[in-house]
Amino acid sequence: MRQSVAIREGVYKSFQMTVNVTPLASVKKLKGNQNELTINITEHYSNGKENVITATLKINNNVAGTYSVGDYKVYVDTKGSTQIRSCYIVN
């Protein structure tokens, strides 16, 4: 006897194999001593599809820190008001 299983799109996506994950950060100067940090995580799947996860946070000027973006932890080090020194995923 065969059973038929329906998989919703959101559930199916979680079973796709992630091939590569790319973090990208940008910072925008705000008034005072704070900046707006935007972090994008792009998940590249083996079937050619991509998924982008975005987080936007307010941070102090010239700060380095680890931030949660979806299921990922991302380290970002900022310099000046609009520069990124480093950005990478932390295990």
pLDDT in tens, 43-55: 998 888 999 999 9
Positive or negative CA dihedral for 67, 39, 14, 90? Answer: negative
Cβ neighbours around 37 below 10 Å, total: 21
Least confident of 4-8, 17-21, 25-29: 4-8
Q: Model's pTM, two decimal places?
A: 0.79
DSSP summary character for residue 82: T
Cβ atoms 36, 63 nearer than 8 A:
no
- Mean of per-residue pLDDT scores for the chain: 84
Cβ atoms 51, 26 nearer than 8 A:
no
